[in-house]
Structure 1
């Protein structure tokens, strides 16, 4: 409790504390005045009621003692959001990948998922229609959604699996026993074409079908100027989805819902924007790239069958059984070097073929002041992942050049040769396939190696002579083969191999089983006091394997060594983890419109294996554990102002974090998982004010401070990072306004929605920040976005027309720096946010 008081004192120094203090003071002081003024307030517009299922039952969001952001169907429409990456712009404290679909990740309160490894799990659990979505299945199109709930903080009791940082709960509209339908088209710049259709038909008084179809297509926000590129347009969007659901009201007490979901992605991979002197530009805001990846693509084919059975045993007891089988195939090939330089070519392919069988049996009890929910969960997941690193022989020759440079320059320096003279000798050389560079290297070798001097005599050329350069050009691979054989270095090969692809593959398989049993009891002790307590036992069992296969390129070059993955027969590992998590919540209702609560909750994410690091078979990364204490206040004041505010302190043990790491003698940096401990404390405030009958204003803001201590690791430059204690602070906010004037035109009404999104940039505190970051324009700039939508709808809501614009100020936000080739080839890549975009919506309701 003292720690919590200390944190609240810290908040008092920040702008958010002023908002929190004013809201709390005003709310409690005005509670009695509110009651007295009820009659005079009845003529004012009341703020809408929002229902959620955050506690596995339908409740008013203001009655739930949790930090919840609820995004309604209206919110999705007003913001033109169709993916989780879209709503992240309007939800401080929540982030989701915007471009990538197959390798998307979520973040809540600064806690993000670790890398793409199939041997690990996300820190944010994502559910769609009550069913858990694993890694590559998380990014789905929003079609005919009822709402989306973002539950912040550990949700280990009711949601369990991998809900250490929080939960995203997507709830589509269920079939209904009536008839309705709509069609909608959205058109915009960058060739945006989005079409949606929904039809709900009651075939009898107890059976209905609901069909949803959506197609979302768009051109890229960046221009690839490479005329030789062959593949899908990098950064383009081509995403389609369909859902067919059936409802059978078997009896008044029993109903069955069956559904089939189909999701298809076939588009260009999110472009790696090069930020090196070898790329098209060092400024990502130019929105021009020159990428040469072979067959750049991102595709996913995903289907799911699900069953939901509901039954009311009596007025107090009810139950629900859900079961789903979801399967998907995913492939993504991206340009990891961001250039068109063949001697720096590197791309990666991630292919996954996986499925999950997810089940939950739930019982609910409600009687008087007692609510209970309990159940069991079981899931079985099978994964297959193949990660491929593809480079050209031209790139291998460049890396060989770098190694020879180091050896030759080191030998000359040891013999007292000054650097100025070394430069005059032609070192360091750029590429051994350039005759002048190779001639310089051979000449230096001949100074100390009689066999090399003899080779030059056979060519009839003297060291450092023009004749040697001409002889190298005339003899093709001869000098390379001779030196490679003499030194026993198979990586020294000639230019006849130019353009040949070198591929290295690591294959992973996994068989994961998860169990859970939970109970959660809520008691309203009297008119003012209530208490909630819950426990969950979780167990995760994982079998995992690694296999690194022979490379076809190596066949004609015996003795050639690996660049990234050493050859390895199948290696198997198996382990299990279990944890008891829970929550305890006390709430105090000042009156029916004011609630205070204090909660303590814990969460857990199982340990796992790093798919790119076979050493984790012996030392798998540790489970991630979270403990969170939270003080919250929720109030509906004067029937027009809604306040939700939270102060929290969250302690993470063995936080799993992904970093780019290049260990000594490694070819390139790869993403690995490290563990660390973090202390995160902050505050969140949500204000909704129905200022008048025609004007609604909103504010969502967050302040967060994080103190981290990470285990030492090698960064992407190959440097050992031991300064692993870091502290950072961040704040963000979203301002929104909705104005619906009483003016009518052609039997229709207008509505204007405007929002402004701000997020502070905290990258200067990253423990693995690369030096090149300081030379990228805008890399440390805060994120800002102004968006607006003006709509007109007929009074019967049959027709709706709208014009909208996103990022109206055309503000550029630069992504993180990384890439497999960043350190080894000097070619890091980044990403950039969408520019200003505009469009129109047309919707017809049948």
Structure 2
């Protein structure tokens, strides 16, 4: 059955009849504690119910979020539905210190407090610092977690290192998603949303018993939206949304103290995607005739369709595709051995199949006709946890095992415009399209990644108000990789030849081959990495008074070392420099303290957090000036720091009104990074010779002055990390009043949510051309709900704010072309939600 047919059946199944609606949306504080779920329609009397206890599993056990001695943001499934937050990218509007950037599913990065992933370079051989877990199953690749939410009970965003309980991949934090479990009471919900841009979304979920000890839950979702960017070359809209997902779980109560839950899911995103618009022109140090205006002049009749990115048009000419398929199976066993002891086992297999097609020159010219890296992943995880509840203490012990195989079979191909665009005009070869036309790089990239760990966490009640919680985790990692890029091109005699970097190789001195080698050459190496690492932490919590908790945390964490699988620099003999093939582990020292409070009979929640994180050997995108040549790859910056304050506030003075406000100040910078890649304005000229790891000789030309001298690297010490705003806020409120529609008693309600982030750098090294201006977004919703249905209208980005998601330097990084990824325009529509 085709994807279109599946989506059509899903939308039909979710179409409204006269069934009841899902639980009505509330506006709990998305970063502080959310209010407890009450009856869908509050009692008539205007009382002021407290916000109750919010139970989370942030520390692998159930506890009140206000008593957890770490910074945790909690968002309920009802809030996600009400605010249209149906995937991870939209979660950033609710969690100020969470940043999400995506050129496409594979090139996706998530940071918390400014740290988590190297910015601007995708590489199979490293791991991100924000762990994503769905029902306790670890998702190693962010691309495999870019699914639309369905049947989510809550999302917990744990800020700061979580290495003791969550592992090596959580130096910045973790996102812990819990879905709704099967129920032994029959029920279900359905939802349909329609909006502008031909937006259509359907969700349906059914649960109930199959037998006395068996319960099942089946869920599905489909989303479809016309693209927001018009491609004048292909004469169609691109940047569309096109996804479908199904999920099923079976709960088997083997006996009263033993539960087994089997789960499976399948997800497919297949949009017409992804491309950038023309953003701006920023002069570099490249000769003027090799910068964007000069290069374009070599192609009479060509002009970019618009120089205003907010016109939302592009003219990319290569095929576009972003097919992202992923799914898996898991088995969760929970055995309550007795009143004090519980054993939990989680076994899982997940796969990821990425099939892309890109235009990486960001123009309508056939410069790069293919830059595609199809990737397949299989991962296997097994975790055992043993929880013991003693007198005045509880303890968790566990074992974790992980194995991953990634296979990428990539291709890069240049077209007939490549010679003019990529070769110096002073060379006669630049006017001959045949020189670089059909230069093809076929890449075979492989990773085998194995990790095992043992961990423990103790919570010791020293007094009835003072709790000490030490934890430790020992981890072993082993990575084996292969990078084999075979580049072929046409030699001057018309034969196809391998483009080798090794002096004396066939056709090495052929002028056409030499020109091709300057663009890309063959390379083969097999990097490997293995290491043991120890993480530990200490949490202190003191209950100053009822509903007032002070806490402090110290954590020593790490992010495992990696291997470069995108190519490395070559020496004078053309051999890969293997010293650049391995990336050292990050070493993290983290300090955090805060206060969590509730008062006015728990109508008000206010939490305040301060943090300071130092990271040595930060994994970053660098230029390899220390090796005497210039090529971007992953290496280690000596030290970075992230520090700041976070405040969360929510209030519910009555059953008729609730509101929240959250804010964060984040100061994240390179403390010492002496070999950072030069920004565009300091690149493209005559590269000065490196004389040491962080030194070079000569005088650097003026920024953006054509024909100047360019440094092989720059000292970025003291400069801001990319992707993080110093200031970020989110806020919102909802008011309701009793009413009656067609004999149904319920609530009329009006909700508003806003967010703001200040400017931020969109380049690995801050650049005057890629600084993204700050912006605010405003969303509204209004409707009527009962315990049977919820009918509401919504508008997102209500004031049609123009804003940028991402800026990046175009082809080569030094032509002066700055490409832009533009944020969503105003969208509006309506939603019907039913319960049965």
Question: TM range, normalised to the smaller chain?
Answer: 0.7 to 0.9
Any idea what the Cα deviations from partners look like across 1:817-840, whole Å, max 9, x if unmatched?
325604355433221111111111
Tell me, which stretches of 5 or more residues in structure 2 are unaligned? 1-31, 33-44, 282-292, 297-303, 498-506, 508-512, 569-575, 685-709
Matching residue of 2:583: 621
418, 441, 453: which one pairs with 1:395? 418
Equivalent positions of 1:544-559 (< 5 A) are: 544-551=481-488, 556=495, 558=497, 559=507
CA–CA distance in 2 between the matches of 1:185 and 1:683? 39
Matching residue of 1:273: 277
Q: Rg: which structure is higher? A: 1
The answer to whether the aligner puts 1:249 opposite 2:211 as a matched pair is: no
Task: Call closer, same or farther: CA 1:792–1:381 in 2, change over 3 Å.
Answer: same
Matching residue of 1:350: 373
CA–CA distance in 2 between the matches of 1:538 and 1:711? 30
The CA RMSD measured in Å over matched residues stands at 2.6
Kept in 2, the 8 Å contact 1:691–1:697? The answer is no
Matching residue of 1:658: 621
CA–CA distance in 2 between the matches of 1:400 and 1:655? 35
Any idea what the Cα deviations from partners look like across 1:380-433, whole Å, max 9, x if unmatched?
0111123433320321244334352xxxxxxxxxxxxxxxxxxxxxxxxxxx6x
Matching residue of 1:205: 212
- The higher relative CO (CA closer than 8 Å, separation ≥ 6) is in 2
Matching residue of 1:730: 726
Matching residue of 2:736: 740
Matching residue of 1:121: 127
Equivalent pairs, count = 706
Kept in 1, the 8 Å contact 2:621–2:677? The answer is no
166, 170, 178: which one pairs with 1:171? 178
The answer to whether the aligner puts 1:815 opposite 2:811 as a matched pair is: no
Equivalent positions of 1:518-597 (< 5 A) are: 518-551=455-488, 556=495, 558=497, 559=507, 560=513, 561-568=516-523, 570-597=524-551
CA–CA distance in 2 between the matches of 1:501 and 1:368? 72
Any idea what the Cα deviations from partners look like across 1:83-114, whole Å, max 9, x if unmatched?
10011112100012356223222110011312
Equivalent positions of 1:1-400 (< 5 A) are: 43-97=47-101, 100-114=104-118, 115-135=121-141, 136-227=143-234, 233-275=237-279, 276=281, 279-293=304-318, 295-342=319-366, 344-345=367-368, 347-400=370-423
CA–CA distance in 1 between the matches of 2:84 and 2:371? 32
Matching residue of 1:473: none
Kept in 1, the 8 Å contact 2:456–2:473? The answer is yes
Shift of residue 267, structure 1, vs aligned partner: 1.3
3-state SS of 2:255 partner: coil
Normalized per residue, the structure richer in strand is 2
751, 754, 757: which one pairs with 1:759? 757
Kept in 2, the 8 Å contact 1:336–1:829? The answer is no
Kept in 2, the 8 Å contact 1:55–1:158? The answer is yes
Task: Call closer, same or farther: CA 1:694–1:367 in 2, change over 3 Å.
Answer: same
Kept in 1, the 8 Å contact 2:219–2:246? The answer is yes
Task: Call closer, same or farther: CA 1:111–1:704 in 2, change over 3 Å.
Answer: same
Tell me, which stretches of 5 or more residues in structure 1 are unaligned? 1-22, 24-40, 405-431, 433-490, 774-778
**TM-score, length basis structure 1:** 0.79
CA–CA distance in 2 between the matches of 1:662 and 1:104? 27
3-state SS of 1:90 partner: coil
Task: Call closer, same or farther: CA 1:92–1:660 in 2, change over 3 Å.
Answer: farther
3-state SS of 1:611 partner: coil
**TM-score, length basis structure 2:** 0.80
Shift of residue 582, structure 1, vs aligned partner: 1.2
CA–CA distance in 2 between the matches of 1:398 and 1:211? 53
Shift of residue 802, structure 1, vs aligned partner: 1.1
3-state SS of 2:91 partner: helix
Any idea what the Cα deviations from partners look like across 1:470-503, whole Å, max 9, x if unmatched?
xxxxxxxxxxxxxxxxxxxxx56845x4995432
Shift of residue 666, structure 1, vs aligned partner: 8.2
Any idea what the Cα deviations from partners look like across 1:493-523, whole Å, max 9, x if unmatched?
845x499543223321011110111000001
CA–CA distance in 1 between the matches of 2:76 and 2:470? 28
3-state SS of 1:340 partner: coil
3-state SS of 1:526 partner: coil
Matching residue of 1:648: 611
Shift of residue 361, structure 1, vs aligned partner: 0.3
3-state SS of 1:85 partner: helix
Kept in 2, the 8 Å contact 1:272–1:334? The answer is no
3-state SS of 1:111 partner: coil
The answer to whether the aligner puts 1:793 opposite 2:789 as a matched pair is: no
Task: Call closer, same or farther: CA 1:111–1:394 in 2, change over 3 Å.
Answer: same
